[in-house]
Amino acid sequence: MMDGVVVIDKPAGKTSHDVVSEVKKILGVRKAGHTGTLDPMATGVLPVCLNEATKLAGFLTGEDKEYLATMLLGVKTDTLDIEGKIISQSDVLLTEEEIRAAIMRMAGKIKQIPPAYSAVKYCGKPLYKWARNGVLLDVKPREVIIHGIVIEDISSPHVTFRVVCSKGTYIRTLCCDIGDLLGVGACLSGLRRLRSGFFSEEMAVSLNNYNDNDKKNKLLEKILPMANLLPLLATIELKDRSAEKLRNGWQPSVEMLKEHDLPLLKAGDMVKFISKGYLLAVAEMLAPVTRLSEFDGKMQAARIVRVFNNISK
Q: Are 143 and 110 in contact (CB under 8 A)?
A: yes
Give DSSP secondary structure letters for 51-88: GGGGGGHHHHTTS-EEEEEEEEETEEESSSBTTS-EEE
The catalytically annotated residue of 3, 39, 81, 177 is: 39
**Helix pair 16-27, 212-222: axis angle to 10 deg:** 90
Q: Is 269 a catalytic residue?
A: no
Neighbours of 200 (CB within 10 A): 13
Report, in this order, helix, strand and coil percent for the chain, each rounded to 5: 30, 35, 35
CA–CA distances in Å: residue 94 to residues 75, 150, 155, 182, 232: 14, 19, 11, 8, 44
Q: Which helix (H) or strand (E) holds 103?
A: helix 96-104
Q: Around Cβ 15, how many Cβ atoms within 10 Å?
A: 13
Specify whether the CB–CB gap between 29 and 72 falls below 8 A.
no
Q: Do the bridges between strand 43-50 and strand 270-275 make them parallel or antiparallel, or are there none, so unpaired? A: unpaired
User: Coil, helix or strand for 129?
Assistant: helix
Q: What residues act catalytically? A: 39
